Amino acid sequence: MTLSPRPATDPPAISSPGLPLAPDGYPAAGGVARRATGQAASARANREWWDAAAPAYLSEHGSDLGDVDFLWCPEGLREADAHLLGDVAGRRVLEIGCGSAPCARWLARAGADVLALDVSGGMLARAAELNRSTGIAVPLLQADAGALPLADAAVDVACSAFGGLPFVADAQAALTEVRRVLRPGGRFVASVNHPMRWPMPDSPDPDDLQVTSSYFDRRPYVETDGAGRTVYVEHHRTIGDWVRAIVGAGFVLADLLEPEWTKGRTQTWGQWSPERGALMPGTLVLVCNKPSA
């Protein structure tokens, strides 16, 4: 059985007219704010932002992500070593926020029946190119993590590597959606920003490990354009918020991983660096089981 709702090689249309870019190739931020932002506005802004950022993001991180590889986080934890999803051969697997879909291709090569979902047509267009160049054509679907267009109990396993959950306004609602599409006894594993990153500056330098805002301030981080329109949104939850959202969505929390920096890994990603990684976590991995009955 295939999970594919559309032909695998069909590149999705890019719906955004395009945001103005800064010299580094990422969308130029006119300003930064902390303000309440709902799900529809978050999904619209992040779809447009990731459409515009896709070339810069993949040129900066594509070689680290690989074309057929499952990297959970900048610390260097790989599914090949962690086995968080169990044996995926013959399983129906949904990846949420797949980006260029290297994880989904890795899962397909491991024998899974995969569907890769992302809100951004720009990211999915690159995923379609890599489907062709690698010869591993995973089905691609453009949709918002907050409203999964799948039937109840459609998949055995779901996963997300920094895709979707940091960007949705209501984490419990998104987790409830994931629980709905999982079969009883199914598993969901997601990596997200470690909540401890939130109150500190976005810098890889260990000297910047200083608390400059409140860990308890849940107002989303928002970037705006010159007219004050929201162009990027990231939502913060404390560790307790995550536990309550997971349990409130009807999952059993099996584990919370805080991966340590991989020995010898020198790659820097934004504020993730070997120097900071030696001192504090940058990633939280949520391991959630749907009860069997």
- Strand-pair category, 140-142 with 113-118: parallel
The pairing of strands 155-161 and 92-96 is parallel
Exposure of 272 by Cβ count < 10 A (0-12 exposed, 13-18 middle, 19+ buried)?
Answer: buried
Binding mask 12-51 toward ligand SAM (x if CB under 6 A, else -) reads -------------------------------x--x---x-
C-beta of 162: minimal distance to ligand SAM in Å? 4
Residue nearest to ligand SAM according to CB distances in the complex? 99
Residue 89 burial by Cβ neighbours in a 10 Å radius (0-12, 13-18, 19+): exposed
- Closest approach, Cβ 263 to ligand SAM, in A, equals 21
Place of tokens 């999803």: 85
Among 163, 186, 220, 277, binds ligand SAM (CB under 6 A): 163
- CA nearest 227: which of 19, 15, 51? 19
| Beta bridge partner(s), residue 285 | 191, 257
Pick from 12, 164, 186, 281: which binds ligand SAM (CB under 6 A)? 164
Amino acid identity of residue 287, one-letter, is V
Give CA angle at 108 (288, 148), nearest 5°. Answer: 50
The nearest distance, CB 199 to ligand SAM, in angstroms, is 21
Contact status: 161 vs ligand SAM (CB under 6 A): yes
Pick from 79, 118, 156, 177 the residue near ligand SAM by CB under 6 A.
Answer: 118
Residue 130 interacts with ligand SAM (CB under 6 A)?
Answer: no
Site string for ligand SAM, 78-97 (x = CB under 6 A): ------------------xx
Binding region for ligand SAM (CB under 6 A): 43, 46, 50, 65, 96-99, 118-120, 123, 144-146, 161-164, 167-168
